[in-house]
Structure formats: structure tokens, C-alpha cells
Amino acid sequence: MAYYFRLGQIPPKRHTQFRQPDGSLYKEELVSSKGFSGIYSNLYHIYNPNEVKSIGNPTPFSWEAAKQHGLNQTHLKTSGLEITGEDYLSARRMLMMNNDVMMGICTPRQRKMDFYFKNADGDEIIYIHDGEGTLYSQFGKLEVKKGDYVVIPRTTIYRFEFKEEGPLRLLVIESQGPIETVKRYRNEVGQLLEHSPYCERDIRPPHELHIEREKGDYLVQIKKQGFLHQYTYGHSPLDIVGWDGFLYPYALSIYDFEPITGRIHQPPPVHQTFQAWGFVICSFVPRLFDYHPLAIPAPYNHSNIDSDEVLYYAEGEFMSRKGIDRGSFTIHMGGLPHGPHPGTVEKSIGAKETHEYAVMMDTHRPLFITTDALEFVDENYPMSWTE
């Protein structure tokens, strides 16, 4: 994160005595990245964070690349999916992957998690396509709603509670490296610059602590190296009375992303929202089209020699695509040109604005769909540019 934040009670100095009302010490925990050289936060527990009561058998939790799919422009027809599993973890269906990132969907039947989850493998972005609720973590409560990117640093212990009414649909992105704001939009001390499409005012950290003091059996499912490890603790991991630092979960709404436009068609990097190891995330939002008198609003054909490109269609009608519904994915592989469907270029001329929303991921290494994704493949899509 780009700025310091604190909640609750903390001592004046790090690593010094900080006592509870009964005279015992609060237990300090440093949560740090890149060893001791990256961003970090200091948390203060009522109980010992290492108080493990039991460890269950690990269960497999991984996906397999469908390498036999080959080099194909791909449309995953996932718009009709409703329930993908019972709970927040079993409902995860990762649909594409490489060594840097996985991306998929999650529509759980259960709206409230009766366990805690810790991803020890990677940072996460949970895009709330539909739904509203609360993220509870050691860092406090964070209200989330439709359109939010919820950025969760690795090893954060959390659970979601979503409201029962209305649809629930999540886009899940898991990164092997840290998920960060865009470097070219930051100054030398990390502050977002004036020309950034969003700023610190748009970033929502946890807004209040949520302290669970009762002892008992608390299950934390920890994802590590393709397994879920079952750890039962003697107290809640949400026993934090205060914390401060730069590392914490936060939300940024796609509705607060301010588009950058120009006289002629702007390239996708102007839509970049996050960066990570091996990929970027971009946000397509309502915006005015190009205003050169001879402008063509539809994107030009593109051969990207270094990247694979994924678009998740969130809202609206994309003028460059036919037959794509809300909640579908397109994957355009490096090595093949991609561009607007026939007829959409001429149709776009004279258009003044768009009301679309989409999440785009560009990977720097080849991306594979998973075996879970095969059932959603639109076999006709690779030939859909033929007039």
C-alpha cells in the first residue's frame, strides 16, 4: 500500500512492553513482506497467535492446466453460472493459470463463512461483480459492495459475510507476487500523482476493529502449495486490539476509477489499475470516446507478441464484440492477432461514449485455461471474425 494507517490501541514504540488491563502483555506480531525489507504492519494480540490446538489432514486444493486446448482465441461462456459450490472455498473455480497468476469465479451457496481462510501462497483480488457484505480480518471490518476490487495481502486471515438478498458473484485473482498500485502513478515516496486515475481518497482500508475475545475452537484453512491445511486454534485470530503499518486489505471501487481519454484511441495501459509480478489488471469504465474528427472509437487489430489478454465482461455492451454476455471471459493469446468483430468498426464511427465495465488482465507469460474451464469453451469463437 502507498500510505500508513492505524486502528485501535498501540504502544508509543514498537517492540516495547504493552500491557493488558490485567497486567499481562499483549502479544506483538510483525506481518512483513520481502523478509524485513518490504511493507509491513505490527499487530497486537490478546492471546498468543501460535496457540494451535490441532492440525487436521491437508486436502488437495489446486487446478490443472488444459494444455491440450492449444493456441485458440477463447470465449468462456460463464455468464449463466449461478452456484459453483457450497462455501467460499469449494465454490472457487479457477479457469486460467500460469506460474504467476490464477483467475476464476466464485458463487457460493453459503453467504457466511463458518471458518477463516489464509492464503499463504499469494495475494488476492476479489472483484465483487454482484453482492454486498463485510470482510472481517485481523485488521478489522471492511464493508464491500458491487464493483469493489478487494485487495487481500497474502497470509491475511479473513472471512466474508455477504448479505442473503440478491445475487452473489465474485471474480477471484490470485497472484504469486504482491499486488500493488501502478508504479508510474506514484511519486518517490509512494503517493499517487495528480494524473493517476485514482488516489488515496478512493482507497478504503478497514474502518473499525472487530475484536473476538472468546476462547473455543476456531478453524483456519490455510492454502499452501496446492493443499488446504486445517489448523484449529484455541481462540479467534481476530483478537487484535490495535495495529499500524502499510500492509492491510483494502477496497477500491471500479466506479471510482477515472478514465483517461484522448483525441484518438488510447492504448489499454491507460486503463491500468494494479501491477503484480508477471501481469497487470486494467479497468474499462464508462468514458467519452475519442474526439478527433476522423476518430475510430473501436479498437484497432492488435498482435501482442509478449502477452496474453483476458477480458471479464462486467456490465454494458461492448461495441467491439458480438455474442459476449455479462459474466463471460475472452482470452486472446499472444501469437495471434485479435481485434473488433466484423461490422463493429464502421458501426462505432460517430459514437460519443460508452457505458461498459470490464476487468482486463494481461499476463507477461503464456496463460493456460484449466481443465475446469473446458466445459465453458465456445467452439465457434476462433472463427467469429469470418464475415
Q: Is 338 annotated as a binding residue?
A: yes
Phi–psi pair at 201, nearest 5 degrees: -65, -25
Residue 167's closest CA among 82, 92, 84, 79? 82
Distance CA 183, CA 220 (A): 34
Q: Is 210 annotated as a binding residue?
A: no
Per-residue pLDDT of the chain (387 residues; tens, 9 = 90+): 568 999 999 999 999 999 999 999 999 999 999 899 999 999 999 999 999 999 999 999 999 999 899 999 999 999 989 999 999 999 999 999 999 999 999 999 999 999 999 999 999 999 999 999 999 999 999 999 999 999 999 999 999 999 999 999 999 999 999 999 999 999 999 999 999 999 999 999 999 999 999 999 999 999 999 999 999 999 999 999 999 999 999 999 999 999 999 999 898 899 999 999 999 999 999 999 999 999 998 888 888 888 999 999 999 877 667 778 999 999 999 989 888 888 888 888 988 899 999 999 999 999 999 999 999 999 999 999 886
Distance CA 251, CA 127 (A): 9
Show the cell assigned to 168: 452473489
Distance CA 126, CA 179 (A): 12
The amino acid present at 229, given as its one-letter code, is: H
Q: Which residues contact 198 (CB under 8 A, 6 or more apart)?
A: 192, 252, 256, 257, 258, 273
Q: Is 306 annotated as a binding residue?
A: no
- Each residue's pLDDT tens digit, 240-265: 999 999 999 999 999 999 999 999 98
Choosing from 69, 210, 265, 364, which is the catalytic residue? 265
Phi–psi pair at 79, nearest 5 degrees: -65, -30
Sheet with 148-152, edge to edge strand ranges: 203-204, 250-253, 148-152, 123-130, 169-175, 101-106, 92-97, 368-369
Distance CA 156, CA 207 (A): 16
306: left (phi over 0), alpha (psi -120 to 50) or beta: alpha
Q: In terms of DSSP bridges, do strands 227-235 and 59-60 run parallel, antiparallel, or are they unpaired? A: antiparallel
- Each residue's pLDDT tens digit, 146-192: 999 999 999 999 999 999 999 999 999 999 999 999 999 999 999 99
332: annotated active-site residue = no
* pTM for this predicted structure: 0.96
Start-to-end Cα distance in the chain: 48
The predicted structure's pLDDT at residue 88: 98
- Helix/strand/coil (H/E/C) assignment for every residue in 61-115: CCCCECHHHCCCCEEECCCCCCCCECCCCCCEEEEEECCCEEEEEECECCCECCC
Show the cell assigned to 46: 490478546
In eight-state DSSP terms, residue 290 is P
- Please give the domain boundaries of the chain with CATH numbers for all domains: 5-57+96-253 (2.60.120.10), 258-383 (2.60.120.10)
Residue appearing with cell numbers 476509477: 257
